[in-house]
Amino acid sequence: MDAKERYDPPRCADATRRDVIKRIEDWVHHDGIRCTPSSLFWLYGAAGVGKSALAQTIAEKSKTNEVLAASFFFFKADLSRNDGDRLIPTLAYQLVQTFQGLPPFVEQSILQHPDLFQKTRQNQMLELVVKPLIGLLLEETGGVHSNSALKSHPRLIVIDGLDECSNADTQCDLLRIIAGAIPHFPYPLRFLITSRPESHITHTFHHDVGEVAQYDLSADSDADKDIRHFLEGEFAKIRCTHPLRQHLPFQWPPRGTFNSIVEHSSGQFIYASTVIRFLQSRKHRPDHRLEVILGPKPPCEMDRPYACLDSLYTSIFLGIQNPGLEKIQRALGIIHLRSLKSGLFSLSRFTSNRHAIEVLLNLSPGDIFLLFDGLLSLVAVDENDIRIYHKSLFEYLLDPSRSGELQLDLGLAHENAASYIALGKQLEDAWGE
């Protein structure tokens, strides 16, 4: 949570995400009188929706209130933070610092098992966490050491960005290990785990780990309101602190600015925060940069207002194995052209994006779920349709200066439609089905 490698981590802006934070805090502090809460809470959502900012904010508040037991923030681009084998030893190290009286029991496990860190993750959880906590309870019960604070309230362990762990099998293994260890903890430990809704993680939560409290941050009804509140505060800071603040127009930002940015954010804080970072540059005029954001023309090569967002999108797409990427690009081209409601794709017989893609790409029933499995942080796929989380996604994919080789070739989408229309009878049969 407070490692220097994570200097200036994302946090929730003041007075935002209040309901979500309260929901999680209530879950942590549940007294269990009326019912026993799940000890696992899965906070999930699309890329850039603000999961890490929430995890950081909750971890900091919990530490201030002496509720935080440990935390781990996965990060795919950092070799020390994308290795799932580091999670359990790191948590054990922090638990030793949190719980008075625990160090001798962990030390004893390590001395008894010199090769412990070469053992399985399940063995490490047992020897580094479960058994030491049981030993501490037995000592406390025997009156040798008093640690009543452990019993008085639950403690929180935050694990952020599980999907950023470099191996999918490891992600699922860690979930199963944590869920399997929870019934054996002699003290109330709560695990807050955040991730994107990757299919393997979703399956593991729903089928392998038992009872789980969960919240879809992408469906947060307060997101637009919170983003607007964030923008209002950040624009006020720019007006007060920017070196060129005295040269900003009297009515700045212009009317409609917040509406435009909130609309483009599509409930994703990453877009709004990227815009603010672009405007905050002390070497540029904020009003001129805002014109770049709001203007109809694409930014010039020297102005990269969406560099952070572009990097996120690029990393997600590059994680897809060929030839799936080519088919996905064609599918997204079809979705985009259909959204324009013009040209070949104005034909009403395509009842949904899913229907159109299956027909035009000659996919077998069910292939659409396999095709988009690697993009579930950017799109939602159900039995009837395919929904894009981010309105800014197509802006990225249609601008070669931003997406490079990932740029959508809309000509291919038109070719797919034209070829099927030319076939006539075959297309009619496909529509009839």
Q: Which helix (H) or strand (E) holds 264?
A: helix 257-265
The per-residue DSSP string of 275-327 comes to HHHHHT-TTS-HHHHHHHHHSSSPPPTT--TTHHHHHHHHHHHHTSPTTHHHH
SS3 content of the chain, % helix, strand, coil (to 5): 55, 10, 35
Contacts of residue 418, defined as CB under 8 A and 6 or more positions apart, other chains included, come to: 344
Phi and psi, residue 281, nearest 5°: -50, 125
pLDDT, position 326: 87
Rg (CA), the chain: 25
Give yes or no for a contact between 184 and 39, defined as CB atoms under 8 angstroms apart: no
Three-class SS of residue 42? strand
Least confident of 326-340, 396-410, 417-431: 417-431
Q: Judge whether residue 378 has pLDDT over 50.
A: yes
Give residue limits of the domains in the chain: 4-219, 223-305, 315-432
pLDDT, position 120: 97
- Give mean pLDDT, residues 20-45: 83
Beta bridge partners of 380: 387
**Structure token digits, residue 281:** 């540059």
Least confident of 21-30, 72-81, 135-144: 135-144
Predicted model pTM: 0.85
- Give mean pLDDT, residues 124-129: 97
Torsion angle of alpha carbons 386, 390, 394, 397, nearest 10°? -100
- Give mean pLDDT, residues 363-382: 88
Rounded distance, CA 271 to CA 384, Å? 28
The per-residue DSSP string of 339-380 comes to HHT-GGGG-TT--SHHHHHHHHTTPPTTHHHHHTGGGTTTEE
Q: Judge whether residue 348 has pLDDT over 50.
A: no
Q: Judge whether residue 34 has pLDDT over 50.
A: no
Beta bridge partners of 195: 44
pLDDT, position 307: 83
pLDDT, position 347: 47
- Give mean pLDDT, residues 273-293: 90
Rounded distance, CA 53 to CA 75, Å? 13
**198-233: b (≥16 Cβ within 10 Å) or e:** beebbebbeeebeebbebebbebeebeebbbbbbee
- Give mean pLDDT, residues 261-276: 91
pLDDT, position 377: 85
Give yes or no for a contact between 40 and 182, defined as CB atoms under 8 angstroms apart: yes
**Structure token digits, residue 48:** 């850039």
Nearest Cα residue to 303 out of 407, 408, 399, 405: 399
Rounded distance, CA 59 to CA 52, Å? 10
- Chain center to CA of 222: 17
**Structure token digits, residue 165:** 């762990």
- List the CATH code of the domain at 4-219: 3.40.50.300
Q: Judge whether residue 427 has pLDDT over 80.
A: no
pLDDT, tens digit (0-9, with 9 covering 90-100), for 140-171: 776 544 455 455 578 999 999 999 998 999 99
Rounded distance, CA 376 to CA 368, Å? 12
